[in-house]
Every structure is written in C-alpha cells, then in structure tokens.
Amino acid sequence: MNPTNPSLDSRTSLEKCFSPAKINGLELKNRLIKAGTFENMTPLGVPGSTLSAFHQRLADGGIAMTTLGYCAVTADGRLNENMMYMHEGIRAPLTSLIHSLHERGTAVSGQMGHCGGFSKNRELQRRRPLGPSFAINGLGLSQGMFFADAMSIQDIDEMVDQYRDAAQFMKSVGFDALEIHFGHGYGLCQFISPKTNKRKDEYGGSLENRMRLPLRVLAAVREAVGDAFPILGKISMSEGVRGGIHYDDSVVISQMLDRAGIDAIVCSGGTSTMNPMLMFRGDNMLPTMLATEKSLLMRLILRLAGKSMFRDYPYTDLYFLEQAKRIREAVNCQLVYIGGATGNDNFADLMDAGFDFIQLGRSLLSDPELPNRCARDAGFKSRCVHCNECVGTIESPQGIHCTRY
C-alpha cells in the first residue's frame, strides 16, 4: 500500500489486472478468465449455436479467456447424457465455436472432467459408474443407479489414456489451454480424498498414493500437448467434510502439482457431491433444488438429507482469499483466484496478493459485459446477489442463466 496515496496503488493494481499476461506460451489480453460453469447447452452432447452464443457474449464482454465447462474426457465420464464428451463426432462444431471466439480476440480453455463414481448418465457403457472404491452413487439414485464400483488397475490405466487422448483431441480442435478438474468431488478428486478413496493398493492410503492417478493424468496430458501449452488444474482446497481433503492437505497437493509441471492452479473448494455450498456461498440453493427436482425419490432424499448436505455459508467477497494465499506462499507456479471476485476493488486486492489471474463465475453469468465495464469504470461492482438460482436451475432447458437479469 502507498501510505500517502492509497488510490494510486489501487489504480496501479487495476492497470495490472487489465494488462496482458502469459500462462506458459499463451498471452492473455488481461487477467480475467471465465470460470468453468457447466453450461447445459449441449443437448445430446453436441455443441451448437446456443453454446456458441453464450461464449460469444462473454468474448464480446472483454474476458481474456473463456472456459468451456466440464468437457468429459470420455463418454462414461459424463454426469449425464447431455454433457459433451471429447470425440471425433463433435470436431466440426467445436472447431467452429472455438474459431468464432478467436475471431473476437478471446482465448479458449477446456475443462477436462470425469465424474468417477458420481453419475446419472443413462447411456453408461459400463454396468455402474467407476470410482476409486465401491460407494453409493448419490447422483444416480433418481435413475436407479444406486452404486459405483471400484476401478481395477486396468481401469485406472485406461482412464490415464482417456485423458491423454482427450487432451490431444482438444489441442487439435483449437483449445488454447486445458484445465484439469482435480476438485469438486469428481473423478480425480475422489482419488485425492481420503473420504472417498478407501483403496488398499498403491492408489490409496497416503496422500502420495492418492495423488498417484492425478499426477499420472497430469503427465499424460502434458505428454499429449507439449511443454509450451498451458495446463491449469482446479483443486478443492477443502471438501468441508469430516475425513475429507482439508486446507492443510491442499498446500501439499498444490506443491505436488507444481513440482509435476502444472502451469497454474485454480484454488476452489467444496464438493458437488457432499458440500456444494462451501464452493458457492450465498443463498442456500436447497429450496430451488426441491422446487425443480423432477424425481420423487430425489425430492424425498433432499428433504431428508438436504440440510446436512446444503449447509449455510454466508457470502462475503473473496471468500477463499486467506486459504488461497497460503498456497501462493507455497508454490512457484501461477495461481488463479476463484470465489466471490466481483469488481475492481476485489481485482486490485487479488493483484496485490500476488495472484496471476482471476476466474469469475456467477458475476459473468449475471453480466457478461463485466470485464469491459470494469475496465471503463474503476468503481464498478457486479450486480450478482449470489442467490445461486443459476446453480439451482442448472438443468433448465434453456441452459444456465441468471434468473434476475
């Protein structure tokens, strides 16, 4: 802080936020990145005009890089059958979507996801979804898919290959960066978490063992895309559940990823499977979920168990800042802040705290023009009120949207 003129400092920090910066070999025009938010705009898994229009609006709004949320690395890695998975059948529409964003001066990242044992995909090729250990498949209950099976070593080897193949495909269709999802309770997170990984072999037990698959995946993706291509990794710093990943673990997890050559870590938290509100903060989405859930069984489960899963976490701006700062001190790679960054005052603080980039989720759903508005007006702040209805209505036929504006 400049003690004689604090506003000068914040102006300098904001100038930094709106100036170009590199992730590995990729130059971004500013430090603002659209966070991966599964768009639900790929009916039957095909990226079409709705998804294109959604990202084009973001590109026109000034974001440096947009992220296509949850690109499943394989068909069985989808949470449901309307998710996109990486295969030749979508090469043409995906290439043209990415091309249209490049024409607008925006880079495109693809979030590489695999649901592991958490799926309601009715087109599952296996009998059951596969995770690190046999478990109840909470998401699949409505479809009568009650359980997930434990992966064999051969399944693990196949999963590494699926990430490698998907990465190769994604680079070839024009993605500028890839973001491996290590968090939020999905497949790789299920391995990292002692809560969900009960294996007795070299993929379970110690943190070193639990990180074996995620690190093999990172190595395979790196092999596929080469040294100069940006690879980000999104982690859950804490799952917010007893016996799960804790903030202390995430410092070590980040150091392992850093040593293994990741370019940037996105410091998120919570899990979609056990404690989603830790990730989102703000209004509890349980009432919206109850109102929109079609399955009678799921409604019953939500009524009985919803309160323990959807806990209240009041919203504050930059709610992961203190924990993410610990990671900043512990690693050399670049860091991407995520969680309640909503305006120029936050952006300046994050630049001062040494974060390299900032991911924005709900504030951009509320207003895709936010980056341009912030660049024009130093006092600008998002109009998002963290009602979380964009999450509660995620399965709406129109895709994700802000229900207020």
Ligand X SMILES: Cc1cc2nc3c(=O)[nH]c(=O)nc-3n(C[C@H](O)[C@H](O)[C@H](O)COP(=O)(O)O)c2cc1C
Return the range that interacts with ligand X (CB under 6 A); candidates 11-19, 22-30, 90-98, 388-396. Answer: 388-396
Return the range that interacts with ligand X (CB under 6 A); candidates 31-39, 56-64, 81-89, 295-303. Answer: 31-39
Instruction: State which of residues 31, 120, 181, 210 lies at the interface with ligand X (CB under 6 A).
Output: 181
- How many residues touch ligand X under the rule CB under 6 A: the total is 25
Give me the torsion for CA of 41, 44, 49, 55, rounded to 10°: 40
CB of 8 to ligand X, least distance (A): 28
Closest CA to 391 of 362, 364, 348: 362
- Pairing type for strands 135-136 and 147-150 reads antiparallel
Q: How far apart are CA 192 and CA 199, in angstroms?
A: 11
Closest CA to 323 of 382, 240, 226: 240
Instruction: State which of residues 86, 107, 279, 285 lies at the interface with ligand X (CB under 6 A).
Output: 279
Is 38 a binding residue for ligand X by CB under 6 A? The answer is yes
CB of 112 to ligand X, least distance (A): 11
Task: Print the binding letters for residues 345-384 with ligand X: x by CB under 6 A, - otherwise.
Answer: ---------------xxxx---------------------
Is 274 a binding residue for ligand X by CB under 6 A? The answer is no
Is 391 a binding residue for ligand X by CB under 6 A? The answer is yes
Task: Print the binding letters for residues 68-97 with ligand X: x by CB under 6 A, - otherwise.
Answer: -xx---------------------------
Sign of the torsion formed by the C-alpha atoms of 275, 281, 286 and 288: negative
Please name the amino acid found at residue 200: K
Contact 131, 150 (CB under 8 A): yes
Give me the torsion for CA of 327, 329, 332, 336, rounded to 10°: 50
Question: Which residue number, 222 or 234, has a Cβ lying nearer to ligand X?
Answer: 234
Q: What is the DSSP string of 149-214?
A: EEPPHHHHHHHHHHHHHHHHHHHHHT-SEEEEE--BTSHHHHHH-TTT----STTSSSHHHHTHHH
Contact 33, 359 (CB under 8 A): yes
Task: Print the binding letters for residues 303-342 with ligand X: x by CB under 6 A, - otherwise.
Answer: -----------------------------------xxxx-
* Residue 337 annotated in active site: no
Catalytic residues: 186
Q: What residue ranges bind ligand X (CB under 6 A)?
A: 35-38, 69-70, 111, 181, 184, 234, 268, 279-280, 338-341, 360-363, 390-391, 394, 400
